[in-house]
Structure 1
Amino acid sequence: MTILVTGGAGFIGGNFVLDWIASTGESVVNLDKLTYAGNLETLKSLESDDRHTFVQGDICDRALIDSLFSTYKPRAIVHFAAESHVDRSIHGPGEFVRTNVDGTFTLLEAARAYWNGLEGEAKANFRFHHVSTDEVYGSLGPNDPPFTETNTYEPNSPYSASKAASDHLVRAWHHTYGLPVTTSNCSNNYGPYHFPEKLIPLMIANALAGKPLPIYGDGQQIRDWLYVTDHCSAIRTILAKGKVGEVYNVGGWNEKPNIDIVKTIIALLDELKPSPEGSYARLITYVTDRPGHDRRYAIDARKIERDLGWKPAETFETGIRKTVQWYLDNQGWVQNVLSGAYRDWVAKNYGDRAGA
């Protein structure tokens, strides 16, 4: 038995591959283009494990996708591969449309052709699971109820618009062609192996380097935070028990303003690795907010708990402590990620925002 994972060298995908093999023992064919956020070092522990097959390639390459289906005959596909950083989507939206929309279309068509060639139990049990985001729902007011699976799509950035489009394609391929799909829309993930351009790993890396901790606007943007291994367990649960055609929101029940996240990280670093120059709070720097910055996201995860019996195992307090400790224990991984290309990106994104 084998599953095909796209984007399995990225943050969530890499954690999922590690978690899947550890939890199920089932083989994974891992397709990743290895763009800036793909990192095979995340999967170093699987180097000699014959249950993990890595293929470098593009999800827009139909011939490659067809060959993977033909060769490995996966029972399911878990589709993580995506351009996923809002700021990058503002600077260069074309790649987001290509990967998130065209790539998902290519995968759906290849999966449909493969599925149509299956028979009996293999055809009945095949699944296409699409991993999406809460950002497709837009922004919430301070007193609005959290997003449910029936919320209207109102994406506000090129990233979220491209993910919304991919969600609609997955839905349409089920309703039009009968392809057995499931979709999950998750809140902000955090945890080990997170590429340090996102809020939590960026704050940890900058603090340890004595660099400014850039906070957009007033820092009161609210997000729900989900520990990445909880997300992995949710996807495993959906693959095992999810109803075909259904959407499941996956959240951590941890709504917090960004500034509170940063202050929590500072408190943990002050405790676990104090700076001789005093509290890392001295590095907080407010910068000009990004265009179209959604004010609040929040996930109502009651459906997946009610229907499938899943709920997160980590609180934010337990998850963030594990995360900070992991980065302190894995500085080699972090330094290898902090390449010249990454530094150039940070300079491009934050260099013109100095001092709000």
Structure 2
Amino acid sequence: MKTALVHEWLTPKATGGSELVVQEILKFIEADLYALVDFESSNPQSYLWGRKIGTTFLQHFPLARNGVQKYLPLLPFAIEQLDLRDYDLILSSSHAVAKGILASPHQLHLCYCHTPMRYAWDLTFDYLNNSTLGRGLPGILTRHILHQLRQWDVLSANRVDYFIANSQHTARRIWRAYRRTAEVIHPPVEIERFAFNSQKEDFYLTVSRLVSYKQVSLIVRAFNQLELPLVVIGSGPQLQQIRQLAKSNVRVLGSQSNDVVAQYMARAKAFVYAALEDFGIALVEAQACGTPAIAYGAGGAKETVLDVRQFPEMGTGLLFPSQKTDALIEAIRFFENTQGTIVPENCRLQAAKFTPTIFEKRYLEFLERCCREAKLGKPNRISRTL
């Protein structure tokens, strides 16, 4: 079938889990690629170098390269301008508006949903409280725009024939926002890129974008009290704030290359993560190195980390119950007092459950089932959840 793959935006700064899913799908499905904007096909370092990619009018807007999110109110309108009538199959990789493309009755639309639009749903008040656009008269306009986005988001969910969620947590969020069930297929993690190392050094590590919902400040405050060595890797609007907060036992390195990150992951005593993530690829990458994970016990972490207190023979880390400094401190102290109970080889085995090979197999099997149902004239728009 003639196939189109639609993603939100393709820029050098967009290198998260959703972009890794797009890259992986293109390895085993021949598809024409579309996005709101594309600055990767002109990037010699990108896997998309020289590829023909369809875009929208936002491609020519100023500042689009550094963040098309600046034009948030226009994103739904823009994605609807992509003309995909010539395709039999439409695949979307969506964390904002990609699922909102317009399709005809003869077309099959399968959406891999990384998350319902976060700033319109779960993170609405976090977004408003941390932005100057969330206060005063601009705040009223911003709230109205987010209200309209939620309405469009629910409406556009009805354009999808089948949903895939990247975790059980995301599947629940899809049900909450759209009242649609979803097949759960965890995203691919390139674990072979991370060297296994059973010999650990005396420091903890966190790698994250430095934005409020990632809760990196919570981790730093905990280690300030514990006076244990911590390395923080990442950049973002909170970088200076984190550096000012950190005491001498905390090293804030800012942005680092993928190779440097992998080296620190392999050497760290444990990887610490306090965000509520839909999946959390970094937690799997750390375990691929044989490094235990200490994570907030909600969201995708519950599906990727085996708490050693619940799985004493196969445990790969610890899950702490709340995003509070005391809860993290208690988990770190438990880890310090029980070192050696988590076997590095178990961490690697856990990470091996999320390889690209497994992703490809699950994705193609589900796609084949959807196509078979569509050919029978019985598209199951409320798909099953594994």
Q: What is the TM-score normalised by the length of structure 1?
A: 0.36
Larger proportion of helix: 1
Structure of greater Rg: 2
Q: What is the TM-score normalised by the length of structure 2?
A: 0.34
